[in-house]
Structure formats: structure tokens, C-alpha cells
Structure 1
Amino acid sequence: MIRNCFLCENQTELLYDANWVLPGLAPTNIGFSICPHCGSVCQSPTVTFDDMMRFYSSMAVYTNPGRKEKPSEAKIRDLDEQIQFIKRGIGNLPSSALQIGSSDGYTLSRFKSAGIDRVLGVEPGKASVALAKKLYNVECINDTAENFKTTEAFELIILTHVLEHLYEPQQTLNKCRKIQDSLAEGFIYVEVPLLAPPKSLFPGFFAFEHINYYTRENLLKSLLNSDYYPISVIEHYRSNLSPIIGVLASTKPQYHTDDFVNQYSKNRNRVQAYRRQEVEYWQQRLDVILPQLQQAKRVYLWGAGIHTSQLVANTNLLEKVIITGLTDTSELKWGLKQGNWHCVPPDAVEWQQGDAVLISSYASEKEIFDALQWLRDKQVNTLRLHNVDDTKAH
């Protein structure tokens, strides 16, 4: 489907596209486009909303089984900062908080421990809702940002790494604003990946799940368009997998921001430069291990997911190597079709000496590699594509 600009609703201009083999969905032409009227970048063409929801509800996993469902050190650190950042911006923590996109409940559990009495999550992933209850006794509505309903008014609404996923993010911000209409003052904290200069961005920054891309300027504009007034802004470029920006805003009018300026030329140049950098990166990484793959008896891809999609879309892997199959430790992915393969459990494969496994993941590559010693003990060659030990991923 073709999307209009998520910020100003004008038609967009295609910058580049490629065919992606998507997990659980049919191969699809995915592209990234820019709005000539404001310069915002979005994913278009993309899959339909229903297909995206099918992806989230059936297989999206945001906890790492290698950590036994515990938060990473980076996640713990980030919550330390978010709580203090919000407390400093407001002067105190409010009495109630709603988080849209609450994942496994860890964020809300931390805010509750910090002194917020009433917390509620909204999360489309059934597995994540169950984890929130099991791990942290956090109540969550199993629904989407677009469809959930509540009659409660929450003093603080949290959207961390949510807006970049939504087909109509402005509608969700407007919905949040309505929830707080009855309050003397309400607050919202929004955090998203930051479209920074290309050299700041990691491989795979333009991802399937991220359909909107934010700069400081268009994020502030999006909040102002929904009658939220920014009061605190924070940016990080090296501490996380992606550069990020966080904004705390109030429902009370404030006058701290400049007028919005069209970013078309700057963002168009950034995306085109990044695209050249991205394709070169993935192919160079594959070329390093290609001889080992070609000498293997059989080759399996480890990881049904988006990095496998990007590997196929950005390299000539399928032209150079016959891929025998796809495997993953996540039960949610077993049986799902990606490209020409169905994902199977690792113990369903009769591993043989001389087989090779290629790990496609960037964020979790080191953890996966360390966990595959049992395959190396069977004389299976486990290959890392990226060889980055600290991706600063959550």
C-alpha cells in the first residue's frame, strides 16, 4: 500500500524500494519515501495495517530468551534516566501513568516502584501481555494503540518507541490528548529513533517495523499539532543501538520552540547517502564469509525475522548460496514461512558435520553466537555476519 505523509498527510515521493521476504507474510515491495511539503520520511510502499498487526500479534518478540526474560543492562539504565528526566521536567512524578506499547511490562513496573500508584499498559502482543502479568504483575489491555479504549484520565502517558510503528501516529497523539482533557495539566513522554546523519545510523536503521522517521524538528511539530507543548528534550547518539530523542510535553501552552522549517533537502540527502552506505555494508559483510558458506554441506539461516529480510534484500546471498532452511529458538516463529523456507525448531534439524549456520541478527548476534556452542560441538560452523560485540541493543 502507498501511504501519505504521517505528519501533514500530503503525497510522498519514493526514494528507494526493494523486495523483502517477510516472516509470516508474502514477499512484498517495501520502500521509503519523503514528503516534499515538510520533509518527513516514511515507509511507503508498505504492507497493509492488517498484515502488520498479524506480524505483531503472531511473532513479534521484544524480550531476549538468552537473558531469561530479564531486562538488559541498557534497559535498566535507560529507565533510570527516563524516570529522573520526567521527574525533573515536571518537578515530581504524577500519581497515574498509561503506557501505550508496554511490551513486557518492565517500564511500568519501574515507574510503579518509583512511586506512581496507578499504572496501565496497552500492548498488541499477546505474549508480551502475559509476560507483563507473570513477571511484574502489571495490568495491560491487549489491543492496539488505534483501537484501545479507556475511561480513565492519566496524568502521564508514555510512548517509548511506539510512534515510529503507527500508521496514523497523529491520531494516537490526539487520542492521548483527549484522555487528559479533564486534567488541570497532563504530561506525555515520547521517545523515538532519531534520523541523524548517516554515519550515526546502524545497519538496518530503515526497518520493516519502523514506518515513520523522526527528526527533532518534526517530532516537536507532531506534538504541537496535537496540542502538546514540549518542555524538555534529550538526545543520545552513542548509548543505544540507534540514536534516540526523548521529549516531555505538557497540555498547558508553552512557548519554547521555533517555527517549523521544511526539511525536504536535508532529509532527502541523508536517506540517499544512508542507502548507499547500507547496501555496501551488507554486501561487504557477506563477502567476507561467502567462501565458508559455499564450502558448507548445508546452510541454515538462524533467525526468522527482519534482519533475515534485510540480508536477502541488500545482498546477492540467494544468487551465490543455496539455503537449506531457517531456524529460530522462538516458538512463536515455528512454522512461519519466510521466503521459500518454513522456520523450524533447532532440534528438528538433523545437524551434520560440515553444516553451516549464518546468524542474520545485528542487535543480538553476540548472544546468539555464544548460545550456539552446542552446534560448534557438533562441528557445525556458526558464522557471524556483523561481528559487533556491543551493539548497545536492548
Structure 2
Amino acid sequence: MNRKISEDKDSNFSSSFIFRYLPYWPLFLLLTLVALSGAWFYLKFTTPAYETNARILIKDEKKGSEDSKTLESLDLISPKKIIDNEMEVIQSKTLLTEVVKNLNLYAPVSEEQRFKSISAYTSSPVIIIADSDHIKETSKVYFTADKNSVKIGKNTYLLDEWVNTPYGKLKFKKNRYKTAEDTEKKLYFSIIDPKKVASSLASRLKVTAANKLSSIVNLSFTDEIPARGEDIVNELISVYNRSIISEKNTLASNTSKFIDGRLARVEDDLVLIEHKLQAYRASKGAVDVDTQGKLFLQNVSTNDQKVSEINTQLSVLNQIEGYVKSRDLSNGIVPSTVGVNDPGLEQMVKNVYDLQIEAESLRKTTGENNPLYVSYKDRIDKIRPQILSNLQNQRASLQASKNNLSSTNSSYSSVLSSMPETQRQLI
């Protein structure tokens, strides 16, 4: 009985609910149509975005295993890298602008459809290459293309040839993604400043570290065309790798030039000494000297060699001093400390050079107002006085030794002067 009463109540409630809102069915129908129309317009006019991801392994001197650090310490040519700096380099406008030029992204081709225009990166029969150093910006240049030529207005241009157009010097090349002919599409291209395109790429590029202890950098790029997103990420990695190789080659070239210069100077000195010795022997002839004369001559020669070594060390100290006093340390390379037996000095000079390289890398990407760049410059300014003080102390010590040797040689010369004139000259 109770169950029947409950069912009657439910039936009455449902009937009253339906009859209450039934007069509003046109409004419900209208709202449904509006919602469906909104969904259709959203799907029709909204351009989908696709994400492309990649990873780069960077040799960070502050991270990684001890074994890898030991191996990297043997590589004297490769510049030191910090993962935070390299992340800034990867997303710098310089590298992105090079990507834009290499992929010809400054001349995008679009397909005009009924409601909107879409990118024709993979559907255009041709790509447009411009003289990237003389870009002439323009928009919506309509064209048609066949297997051998491109037609713009009344002008026809052959493929794979540089041609002069009202829009600058251009070359039309077959698109590697386009495989089938389709003459029904309405295509146009635009020419944009590569720096503007690079700024657009930067806004869609994310560069993050995998974690705090990892040397792996994650790249994420969003684009409406998956193939173009992959091309941009791959080209960015290639450009970054080429920049590393170029930096390493520059450092190796500077080091090689410095070593060659030092060797040439030493070789010239040796040749000059040999010529003087030959001239002296030719003018005096070959003679035999007594034991005392040989001993004095040997002592004088030994002292002269020591004086020469001291002069070499003083020359090295002068080169280091000139390098440290220079306000721009990145244009040269760290002078060799060969001949100067002071590990502390060598380490301080190397620290100044490493700090300058890191500071220069930051300056190129973030500017001179970056706090990390200012920190590097402050550390360099603190080390400079220590190096100069060390150089002054070593120079004073070497000069004292040189004066002592010169005084000893003067004594030997006085003894030799007491020998017969001819014998003394021959010695």
C-alpha cells in the first residue's frame, strides 16, 4: 500500500515538472542550437596546436659523475659550460634568428580558405628563399605554381634560380613535403623580418632542466604544423651544436697562434746566437785554451744561460701582467706560464680567464646588467690585484738573482782579462 502511494507521488511530480517547463521548449531548443553552433564555430576557426619535445645532454662542469669530470679535465680546448648559461644560449635570439634563416621561415606560405587562412608549410608546392641580409617585408603575395615555374601576377619565374621581383631577390624551390599536384588551392606568401619571426618562436619555446642535478635540457615547442615544429627543434639543436664547434675552433686557433708565435721567437733567438758563434769562430779560428780558461768560460756560459732563463721568466711575467691589466680578456687567450714555477699564479690566471669566458657568454645573451654577469666581473676585479702583487714579488726576486749573476760574470771577466790578450779573446 505504501509502495503504491510512493509511486503515485513520483508520477505526479514528474508530470507536474514536465507540464511546468513544457511551454519553454522553444527556449531550450534555441539554447541547444546556440551551444552546437558555438562548438562548430570554435572547431572551425580555432587552429590546433601541437607540441614537439626533445632533449639535449650538456657537459656541465658543475654536474655529472666524478669519472666524467676527470675526463673533461683532460680536454684543454673545450670551453667550460654551465647548464643555466647554455639554456639561455639555446633560446637566444641569435640562434633562433639563424634557425629562421636556415628554414626560410621568414617567407611563410599560406592557403586562403573560405573562413580563414592556414599554413601551407607541407601543402605548398614551393618554398620561397630570400636574400636574408636584404629582407624586404611584404604581405599576401598571391601566386600559382607548376612543376617548373611560379607565376605572380603576369610574371613567370623559373624554379631553383635567383630572380629579381618587386619583393626583392627571391628563389623558388620545390617543397620536399609536397608530393601531389593541387592547382585548386589559393596560395600566397609573405616576407617578414627574421628577427620578428625569431621573437615569435621564442614565445612558443620552453627550455627547462630535467632536474637540479641533471645535465639534460628539455626543449618544448608549440606549433600548428607538427612537421614544422619538428624541423624547428631539430634545426635549433643543429645550430646550437655548430655554435659549440665554432667556439671550440676559435679557442684552438687562438691557442695555436700564440704557441706558434712563441716558438718562432725562440727559434729566431737560437739562430741569432748560432750565427754570432759561427762568426766569432771564423774570425778567431779554432784554438785550444787551458784548463782554467775553460773552467771560467764554462761558468760564464752557465751564468749566461741562467740569466737567459731569468729574462724568459721576466718576459712571461710581463705578458701575464699585460693580459691581467687588459679590460677585455676575451679577445686573447691566457698566456702560458711555462718557465714560471708558481702553481698559485697559474691557477689564479686560469680562474680569471674562465670567469671572463663565462661573463662574455652571458653578456652576449642577457646583457651587461645581468646580476650573474656583474658577479663575474666583481670576482675578476678581486683576483686582479692578487695576481699583480704576486707578479711584483716574483719580478723583484728574479731581478735580484739576475743582478747577482751579472756581478759574478763581471768577476769572471776580470780574471779572464788578466790572461794574454789573444787567448782571452779566443776564449
Q: TM-score range by the shorter chain?
A: under 0.3
TM-score, normalisation: structure 2: 0.19
With the length of structure 1 as denominator, give the TM-score of the two structures.
Answer: 0.20
| Larger proportion of strand | 1
**Larger radius of gyration between Structure 1 and Structure 2:** 2
Higher helix proportion:
2
